[in-house]
Structure 1
Amino acid sequence: MAGFAERYIEEGIVKGETQTLLKQIKLKFGNPPAWVEAKLNDANTDQLDRWVAGILTANNLDELFKD
């Protein structure tokens, strides 16, 4: 049962990070193209963490999402 709850907690964290990052992207760069939202929705927590930190120094979306 603990695994079930942990999975939903993890999903909630990912959803919150995704929503926050999308808001930051909109504030900094304007409305993003569809590929950005698709990339965010497919991201894991490690990718989201990198992008959350990277939004502070990125000059454009390509720079933010470079891998």
Structure 2
Amino acid sequence: IRGRADVLLRQISLKFGETPEERRKQVMSAGKAELDAWTDAVLMTRNIDDVFDNKTPFVMIDRPRLFKS
């Protein structure tokens, strides 16, 4: 789980800048299911608060589709 948390914190920092200490603690104390959900969310949200907000759907970033079905 520690590895998942480290990857998520790196993704957050790369996308949004410095991670607030409150969010860092939240990530480090999270379980696998939360980390998985947040790792997906960080790719699809426009701000750090939306990553952790489980009540609202992800705000999709406009991006080209890489794979066509």
RMSD of aligned residue pairs (Cα, Å): 0.6
- Unpaired stretches in structure 1, ≥5 consecutive residues: 1-13
1:35 aligned residue: 22
Aligned length: 54
Which is richer in helix? 1
Alignment partner, residue 10 of structure 1: none
Compute the TM-score of the two structures, normalised by the length of structure 1. Answer: 0.77
Structure with greater Cα Rg: 1
Shift in Å, 1:28: 0.1
- How much has 1:26 moved relative to structure 2? 0.5
The higher relative CO (CA closer than 8 Å, separation ≥ 6) is in 1
What is residue 36 of structure 2 aligned with on the other side?
Answer: 49
The answer for unaligned runs of 5 or more in structure 2 is: 55-69
Name the TM-score, length of structure 2 as normaliser. Answer: 0.75
Identical aligned residues as a percent:
33
Runs of 4+ in 1 over 3 A off after TM superposition: none
